[in-house]
Each structure stands twice: as structure tokens, then as C-alpha cells.
Amino acid sequence: MSSKIIRNGPLDRFTDWYDDEGNVINASDGGILYAEGVYYWYGLELRALPADFGGKGGQTTTTGVVMYSSPDLVNWHREGIVLSCSMDPESPLYAPMRFERPKIVYNEATGKYVLWCHYVGYPGDHGDTPGTAEAGVAVSDRITGPYRFLGTTRPIDDRGLVRDCTVYKDADGSAYYIYDRQEAPDNRCQHIVKLSADYLSMTAEYRRLDEVFWREAAAVVFHDGWYFMITSDLTSWKANQARYYRAENLFGPWEVMGDPCVDDVNHDTFFSQSTYIFRVEGKTLPDGSPLWIHMAERHNTKNFLHCSYIWLPVRFTDDHRLFLAYEEEWELP
């Protein structure tokens, strides 16, 4: 059997992915970064059942952000924990806690790797008090870390709670923190904030994306003059119907485009939730367009160690639309 096959598994069940030592890959809601011919996959490491943690939430960690490396996106080697929790009760990284939806970008000007996340301090329960709904940032000289935690912030102002987030790096080198900002129980909307030149802080340049209201889990890609954003509804761990948007400018206006998933009979994003979109370097689809992969995750709330990772090629149409079609297995070019 080909070593270049992505195996998502059957549509209706959880399927484990394994590293080169036979251990289950455990990198929740992270992303992929390509550097010097190697792909690096990172995410939150979840080693125990939720009942073993002090927090009430499911996705808490006692270890931190983990990273794997691969030359081909199929064979993965565990590099280890790159941003570690702490056992010191005085530390902002005291476990259990959350580095939810970590995203890493490389800054060419500074030579630094910068990690942003949705930070939830001990015991890892979402809230509205300081330390329970923040943006957290860490930095490293090396992609494999260790990353040094610099602290937390609430973008724009302290009234807006930080929920799910991502980071998007544009072609001109500018980077943006995109997040689900909650200002009241019934007022949650995607916001985009431009990061500083070194990516280590927020600037005052931002936009509320009114069209992307009551959505989370954003994943962004740029193709043929258009930005596309795939999002999830707000149903906690329960899978729901995806919706995507497009715009010719990151700050909008954004146009509602509907569900990107074709033949998704249960209207639940193929029993998963959007995580990230990344480019496969030097590879194209049969029509010649660049190969982008949409990462999604099936959250196994009974045991987060055994979540499923769903990787599907993003396909674009001539009239500037995109779609995802489910494949249990598919071969990389």
C-alpha cells in the first residue's frame, strides 16, 4: 500500500493516527507549519480523560503543546512538548489549563517563531474573569522550541472575551489574529486584529466581521484573488454544519457562501469541526491548482486522546467558490 495515503477512516467513527513509534498522535486543534523541507504538526496534547483533570472542561492539558515532524505528511515523528505547562501554582501555565487552538507563524524579519492561542488558565474552565478568556503568546528561536510564554492580552479592549482563534499570515508578511469575540451572552462575532511587525502584540488596526456572526473555529485560505474562511456554529463539542465566506480584502466585506461540504447528509461537517488550512508545498490538484488541505477534528469527548483528524483537499471552482468532499482515503500527489 502506498505510503502517501491520507487515511481519514469511515465517516461515522473515530480513527486513530499513529506516529513512527506506534503511539497515537495527540495534537488537538492545532496546525501545520512547513520549514526547510519538513512539515511540523502541533496541537494541544491531551493525555487523560476529562474526569482526571481539575477543570470541568474537556480540552484541558497537564503537559502543553506538542509537535510532530514529517517529510511527507504521512510518516510522523514526535518532537515532544514545545510549550510546557507548569507544576508551580504561581505560574500562569499552572496545570491543568488550556492553550486552545494554538497557531504558529514564522517572522522572517526577526527570525522568531511565534505561537498564539486561546489561553484559559488553571483549572482550564472557560469564563469571563481575567485569565479565563485571553489571547496568549509565546516565542522561540527554533520551530521545535522550547517556546517562552510572554503573557496574555485581550485584543481591542478588556470587554471582549477571547474564544476560538486562529492566526493568518498574508503574502506581504503581515499577520492577523482572528478570533471569536464575545461581548455578551448573545453577542459573539468574528474579529480580525492586525499583529505588530514582530507578531508579538496586537495593533489598534482591527475589524468586526459582522457577516461572520455567531461562528467559531475559523480557517482561512487565499486563492486566485479571494480570501476564504471556513467556520463552525457554536455547539461546543457537538459537530454542526460548516459555513464559509469569501472576501477580496481580509477586513471585508465578507460574503456568505453557504456550506462548503458536498453530500454531507447529516449536515455536521462530516462529523467534525474545522481547524486549519495549509498548503502542500510544490503539489497541485489534477486541474493544476495548488493543493491546500483542510484540517478538521472529530472531538472524542469520552476520551480526547482518541480524537480523529480529518484531512481533505480544498477544491476551488472557476467562479471563486470552494468545496470539500469526504474521502475515507486519498493519495497525495
72 within 8 A of 134, measured Cβ to Cβ: no
Q: How many domains does the chain have?
A: 1
**b/e string for 269-303 if b means 16 or more Cβ within 10 A?**
bbbbbbbbbbebeeeeeeeeebbbbbbbbbbbeee
Whole domain around residue 118: which residue ranges? 25-331
Distance CA 134, CA 162 (A): 5
Q: What is the CATH number of the domain that holds 227?
A: 2.115.10.20
Q: Evaluate whether residue 1 is within a structural domain.
A: no
Q: Evaluate whether residue 18 is within a structural domain.
A: no
236 within 8 A of 211, measured Cβ to Cβ: no
Q: Evaluate whether residue 126 is within a structural domain.
A: yes
Amino acid 47: pLDDT: 67
Q: Evaluate whether residue 326 is within a structural domain.
A: yes
Query: Which residues, in sequence order, are CB contacts of 153 under 8 Å at separation 6+?
Result: 134, 135, 137, 201, 202
Q: Evaluate whether residue 2 is within a structural domain.
A: no
SS3 295: strand
Q: How far is CA 245 from CA 13, 229, 248, 319, in A?
A: 28, 5, 11, 14
| pLDDT per residue as tens, the chain (333 positions) | 447 999 999 999 999 999 999 999 999 999 999 999 999 999 999 865 555 554 455 678 999 999 999 999 999 999 999 999 999 999 999 999 999 999 999 999 999 999 999 999 999 989 999 999 999 999 999 999 999 999 999 999 999 999 999 999 999 999 999 999 999 999 999 999 999 999 999 999 999 999 999 999 999 999 999 999 999 999 988 999 999 999 999 999 999 999 999 999 999 999 999 999 999 999 998 888 899 999 999 999 888 889 999 999 999 999 999 999 999 999 999
Amino acid 286: pLDDT: 87
Q: Evaluate whether residue 16 is within a structural domain.
A: no
Distance CA 270, CA 5 (A): 19
Q: Evaluate whether residue 309 is within a structural domain.
A: yes
* CA torsion, ordered 56, 152, 99, 57, to nearest 10 deg: 10
Q: Evaluate whether residue 64 is within a structural domain.
A: yes
Amino acid 46: pLDDT: 85
The arrangement of strands across the sheet holding 216-223 comes to 216-223, 226-232, 243-247, 255-258
The pTM score is 0.96
